[in-house]
Chains A and B, each alone.
Chain A
Amino acid sequence: MDLFPLYITVKVSLIATACTITVGLVLAWVMAKRAFWGKGLLDALIMQPLVIPPTVLGYYLLVAFGSSGPVGNFLEETLGIEVVFTWKGAVVAAFISSLPLFVKPARAAFEGVGADIENAARLLGKTEFEVIRTVTLPLAWRGLLAGAVMAFARATGEFGATLMIAGNIPGLTQTLPIAIYDAVQSGDYATANTLVGIITLFSFSVLYVAGRFSRVRF
C-alpha cells in the first residue's frame, strides 16, 4: 500500500491551513473592526470559492498560475517557484478554497467582541496590539478555532481545483481525494475502499481532537 497520498494530503492541508489562518486573521480583523471603501467587494471576493464550482476555480488558478499566466510567470521568472503541477499548486488550491470558511466565523467572532470592552482596555493604557492580544483574541478564541477546523477540513477534502492546478500525478501531487477518484475511475475498488477508510479515520480523529481542544480556554 502506497501511503504517499496520505502524506501529501497532511502536508498540503497543514501548510494551507497555516496560510489561511495567517491571512484570514488579518482579513477578518480588518473587516470586523475597520470601515474602508470596498469592504463589501472584498467580502464578496473572498467568499467566491464557496459559490463557484471547484473545477472553475481550478481553471482560473491554472490560467493565473500557469507558466504563461500573470502570477505564474512572475513567480517563475523572479523567484524561481513553480506552482502548477507541484504540491505547491495543491496548497494554493486548498488555501483559496478554505479561506472563506475561516474568515466568515473569525469575522463574526471579532465582531462579537464589543467595542466597549476594547475601549475600556484602551482607557487603561493598553496599546492597540495589547488590546488584540489580551482582550480581542482571548474572547474570540472559540470562533477562530471553529473557523480553523472548518478550513482544515475543507483543505483536506479539496478535490476539483487541486485536480486542475496540481494534476493527478502519483508520487508528486496525488492527494487522497484525487487518489480515490483515480481508483474509482479506473475501476480499482479495493484501493478506493482502503483510501476512503484512511481519509475517514483521519478526518474523524482530527475533528474529534479539535472538539476536545475547543473546551480549553485561551
Chain B
Amino acid sequence: MQRISLTSISILFFLAAAVLPLLFSTVPSLAGDKKHITVAGAADLAFALKEIAAEFEKETGYKVVLSMGSTGMLAKQIEHGAPFDIFFSADKGYVDRLAAKGLVLKDTVEIYARGRIVLATRKGSGVSLKGLRDLSGGSFRIAIANPDHAPYGIAAMEALKSAGVWEQMKSRLVYGENIRQALQYIQAGNAPAGIIALSVANVPEIDYSVIPAELHRPIDQAAAVVATSKEERIARDFIKYVNGPKGTPVMEKYGFTLPE
C-alpha cells in the first residue's frame, strides 16, 4: 500500500483549482443584476408564458424569469415569502385565498383563462366513447387528475356526477397527481380513456371531444401581483400584456381561452 502519491495529490490539487473559484465567484445569474420580474406559474403554462415573455422582454427590456411548479406548492411558497412578482394560478381559489390574507394585491387579480375539459381516448385502444354516459359500461381504466386538489380533477368529478355515471365507474378511476400525469397515463396506454384539459389534449396519440361546460363549475384560472413585489408597475403590465392583444393569441394557441 502506498502513501499518498504525487498523482493523487495532483488530482486533488487540480480539482481544488477547478472548483474553488466557482465557490467564490459571483453568481453569473440570470436573475441577478439585470432588471427583471419573476413569474411563478402553474406547470401547464410553461410554453405559453415562455413565448409571451420573450415578446415582453423585447418590448420592455425587462427580463422575465419563469418559475414553474404546482399551484399548491407555489401558493405555499408565497405564504413563506418567496421572491415572486406575479402568480399565475391554475385555480382562482388559491389566488382568492392569498388575496384574503393580503399576500397578493387584491385589485390585480385577473382571470387569464377559463379551462375546458375533454373526454379523451387512446387511438387504437379499441375503446370508443360517444359521451360520458358510455364510461359506465366496460372494464377499462379511466384517468383523471386527483379530484382532491387538482382543479381539472375536480371539474372531471363534477362532470361525471352531472352525467350520472360517477357511482358506477369510480372504482375504475386512476388519479394523476396533475393533469399532465393523467395525460401520460392515457398516452402510455395504462388507461385507454380519461378526462383531461383541452390545453394538453392536442397530442398525436389521443382522440378527444370537448365536454359541455354546463356539466361542471367554471375552471377559472387567475393571476395576481404578489404583495412583496418590488416591481409592481411592470408586474401589473405583464398581466395586462398576457390578457392583451399580444398575449391572447398565444394563450389561445395553447388552449387557454378567456371566458366570453
Contact for A4 among B2, B28, B66, CB less than 8 A: B28
B80 x A169 contact (CB < 8 A): no
Residues 125-145 of chain B: 1 if any A CB is under 8 Å from the residue's CB, otherwise 0?
000000000000000000000
A10 / chain B contacts, CB cutoff of 8 Å? 19, 22
A213 x B81 contact (CB < 8 A): no
**A60 → B minimal CB distance (Å):** 12
B31 x A170 contact (CB < 8 A): yes
Q: A168 CA to B77 CA in the complex, in Å? A: 11
Contact for A185 among B8, B32, B43, B83, CB less than 8 A: B43
Q: Number of residue pairs across A and B with beta carbons under 8 Å?
A: 99
**A187 → B minimal CB distance (Å):** 7
Which segment of B67-75, B87-95, B115-123, B156-164 sits at the interface? B67-75
Task: For chain B, residues 1 to 29, give those with C-beta under 8 angstroms from any C-beta of chain A.
Answer: 1-5, 8, 11-12, 15, 19, 22-23, 27-29
Main secondary structure, interface of B, reads mixed
A to B CB contacts below 8 Å, 21 in the list: A4-B30, A7-B28, A11-B23, A59-B76, A62-B80, A66-B81, A68-B80, A85-B82, A164-B76, A167-B82, A168-B68, A169-B31, A170-B66, A170-B67, A172-B29, A172-B31, A182-B46, A186-B50, A187-B46, A209-B15, A213-B8
In the A-B complex, the 10 residue pairs with the smallest Cβ-Cβ separation, listed nearest first, are A171-B30, A186-B46, A66-B80, A171-B31, A67-B81, A172-B31, A185-B43, A169-B67, A171-B29, A216-B8
B residues near A (Cβ < 8 Å) are: 1-5, 8, 11-12, 15, 19, 22-23, 27-32, 38, 43, 46-47, 50, 65-69, 73, 76-77, 80-83, 180
A residues near B (Cβ < 8 Å) are: 2, 4, 7-8, 10-11, 14-15, 59, 62-63, 66-69, 84-85, 87, 163-164, 167-172, 182, 185-188, 209, 212-213, 216-218
